[in-house]
């Protein structure tokens, strides 16, 4: 907004005053947002970082009154009896549970939205039901089932904790469902599927090459929540007499607390690293819009 030349500099300054006021107000809002964001990030960093630093400090503390630092507890992790096997089993469980939950939920939720919308409430109720049932009650129901599974499986596979995948898929259903439901609500599933089908795509192509790429962040978040839950689960594995990393940490903590704390710190740092890497997934290169 500019003033005619014959009105002079006073009119020009009055005309540009609202523009300067609006620009200043926008700059103040940006500074306020950055300040609030910095305070929140510092608070969250302190909330999560101080306990993690305490774990690292305890696990590296040297025995005795010397007050020195040592990495003996961290170096003992690969050599501790049964611990490497428990860590590998938990990682395998996390991968199998994530794949199983996604393989079960993504096609089901897409099909319900497209063909059976009246069943959406029923599917939501069934997926959220594990949140309302205590783990001890679930184990009481699962114990006969696992006895039946062990009866029909070879002896070499009866003691493996990988059979906990069935139980863990049920446990992660509420968290994976909520994440995927938010992702599906953000896209027009019906329009995308009908457009792909009109071009001759099969339902498998629609799901894998049309719906799944648009659900990328939601799928990654659901997988991460599944991994975090499996790596931190103790009750079901302990009551069903299977050894995962949490059960092994509990047994080690009774004999060597520093090694158990080192494993816990390593697990937490791994989850934080996954969260950090996930924040960059799906972000393309930012394009600078021209103002011309």
**Cβ-based neighbours of 211, under 8 Å, separated by 6 or more:** 106, 110, 187, 189, 192, 193
Structure confidence at residue 19 (pLDDT): 54
pLDDT at 103: 94
Question: Could you give the residue ranges of the DSSP H alpha helices within 115-134?
Answer: 120-128
Residue 195 has pLDDT above 50, yes or no: yes
Is residue 289 predicted with pLDDT exceeding 50?
no
Is pLDDT above 60 for 108?
yes
- Checking if the pLDDT of 6 tops 80, the result is no
Across the chain, mean pLDDT equals 82
**Mean pLDDT throughout 267-292?**
63
Residue 4: pLDDT over 70: no
For 212-224, how does the pLDDT look when each residue is reduced to its tens digit (9 = 90+)? 889 988 998 898 8
Q: State the pLDDT at residue 97.
A: 94
Cα 87 to Cα 93: distance, rounded to the nearest angstrom:
10
Give the Cα separation of 24 and 28 in Å (integer).
6
């Amino acid at each position: 907004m500019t003033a005619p030349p014959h009105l002079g500099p006073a009119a020009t300054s009055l005309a540009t005053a609202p523009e300067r006021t609006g620009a200043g107000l926008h700059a103040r809002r940006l500074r306020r947002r950055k300040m609030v964001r910095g305070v929140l990030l510092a608070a969250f960093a302190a909330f999560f970082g101080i306990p993690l630093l305490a774990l690292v400090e305890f696990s590296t503390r040297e025995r005795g009154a010397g007050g020195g630092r040592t990495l003996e507890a961290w170096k003992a992790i690969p050599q501790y009896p049964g611990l490497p096997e428990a860590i590998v089993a938990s990682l395998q469980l996390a991968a199998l549970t994530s794949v199983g939950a996604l393989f079960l939920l993504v096609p089901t939720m897409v099909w319900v939205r497209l063909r059976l919308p009246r069943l959406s409430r029923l599917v939501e109720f069934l997926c959220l039901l594990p949140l309302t049932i205590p783990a001890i009650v679930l184990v009481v129901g699962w114990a006969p089932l696992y006895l039946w599974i062990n009866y029909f499986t070879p002896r070499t596979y009866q003691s493996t904790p990988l059979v906990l995948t069935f139980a863990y898929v049920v446990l992660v259903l509420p968290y994976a469902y909520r994440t995927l439901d938010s992702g599906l609500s953000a896209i027009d599933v019906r329009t995308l599927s009908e457009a792909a089908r009109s071009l001759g795509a099969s339902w498998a192509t629609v799901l894998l090459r049309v719906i799944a790429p648009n659900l990328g962040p939601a799928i990654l978040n659901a997988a991460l929540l599944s991994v975090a839950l499996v790596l931190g689960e103790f009750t079901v594995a302990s009551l069903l007499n299977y050894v995962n990393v949490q059960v092994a940490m509990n047994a080690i903590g009774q004999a060597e607390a520093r090694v158990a704390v080192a494993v816990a710190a390593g697990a937490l740092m791994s989850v934080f690293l996954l969260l950090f890497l996930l924040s960059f997934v799906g972000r393309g290169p930012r394009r600078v819009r021209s103002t011309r």
